[in-house]
């Protein structure tokens, strides 16, 4: 994908990004970050640098929790796939057994 320049503003500071992300998604992230920084700085006792560090820590924790949740879902999907494989194997075994019984019944008729 082709990277495009995009202008964003975070905490009143303008930045130029080179990104291949959807501009609407980048704007949503920027807006969310600005809201988070405004909330952190609302008491007036936190500097912009401190607010950025706190926001980064919060976002890092959220990302770690999301990675952990994704890993749990991957494991769960793996378990479901194993269960499905066992069920298909069992189904095939019962089908073979059914076919044998059907042949035996036809032969006796």
| Number of other residues whose CB lies within 10 A of the CB of residue 103 | 10
How do residues 16-33 score in pLDDT, each as one tens digit?
999 999 999 999 999 999
Q: What per-residue confidence (pLDDT) applies to 27?
A: 97
Q: How confident is the model at residue 40 (pLDDT cuts 50, 70, 90)?
A: very high
Q: How confident is the model at residue 2 (pLDDT cuts 50, 70, 90)?
A: confident
Residue 60: which H helix or E strand, with range? helix 48-108
Phi/psi for 102 (5° steps) reads -65, -45
What is the mean predicted confidence (pLDDT) over 61-70? 98
- Residues of 12-45 as b/e, b for ≥16 C-beta within 10 angstroms? eeeeeeeeeeeeeeeeeebeebbebbeebbeeee
Q: How confident is the model at residue 71 (pLDDT cuts 50, 70, 90)?
A: very high
- Residue 62: closest CA among 43, 39, 36: 36
């Amino acid at each position: 994908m082709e990277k495009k320049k995009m202008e964003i503003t975070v905490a009143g500071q303008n930045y130029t990004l080179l990104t291949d992300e959807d501009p609407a998604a980048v704007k949503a992230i920027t807006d969310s970050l600005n809201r988070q920084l405004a909330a952190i700085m609302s008491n007036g006792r936190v500097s912009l640098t401190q607010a950025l560090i706190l926001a980064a820590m919060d976002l890092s924790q959220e990302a770690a929790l999301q990675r952990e949740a994704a890993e749990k879902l991957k494991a769960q999907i793996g378990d479901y796939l194993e269960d499905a494989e066992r069920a298909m194997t069992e189904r095939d075994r019962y089908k073979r057994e059914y076919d044998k019984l059907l042949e035996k019944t036809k032969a006796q008729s």
